[in-house]
Structure formats: C-alpha cells, structure tokens
Amino acid sequence: MNLPFNNRRISPDELNRLHDAARERALQLRREAIDDFWRGANGLLADAVINSRRAADRLAASMRRHTQKRDRAAPADPSSVALRRQFKYSTPEA
C-alpha cells in the first residue's frame, strides 16, 4: 500500500491500521507463494515418477527379450538349459 507523500503527520491509529493491512497482505502473499512452490514441486515429483516407471518398464522388457534370445540360442538338450538356470541363480560356496 502506498503512502501519500505530503507533510501531514500520520496518527498512531492510522499507522497501526496501515501496519496491520501490510501484515495481512504479507501473509496472503506468503500463502500464495508456498502454494505455488508445492504445486510446482508436486508436478516435478509426478514427472520423475512417470519417467522412472517408464525406464523400469523398458529395462524389464529388454531383459525379457535378452532372456528369450538366449533361450532360443541354447542347445536342444533340456537338461543343459536347466543346469544353466540353476547356476545362474546359485550363490558361490565360501
């Protein structure tokens, strides 16, 4: 709120009223700024979640394709495929 620039003295009551109005306006602006900040932060977080989910889906699809290619290239003997899978998931003995 702009004060008129003149030579008159402002009464204490008028000054208090102006201070109260300025404080109320500052609170209103602060609330709006906080709301804008969180709205933006929520948008960024949502975008990150969407992008992460898409990357995870692409990785899973790539791994499935890789497994399918590897299994198609495997020898026809089913026991060798079972052995290979068994060794893939087994942990080395200490």
Domain ranges of the chain: 12-89
Round to whole Å and give the CA distance between 88 and 82. Answer: 10
Residue 86 is predicted with a pLDDT of 58
Window from 10-19, 49-58, 77-86 with minimum mean pLDDT: 77-86
- Judge residue 65's burial from the number of C-beta atoms within 10 Å of its C-beta, 0-12 exposed, 13-18 middle, 19 or more buried: exposed
Does the predicted TM-score (pTM) go above 0.85? Answer: no
Q: Which tens digits make up the pLDDT trace of 16-68?
A: 999 999 999 999 999 999 999 999 999 999 999 999 999 999 999 999 999 98
The 10 Å CB-count burial string (b at 16+, else e) for 3-38 is eeeeeeeeeeeeeeeeeeeeeeeeeeeeeeeeeeee
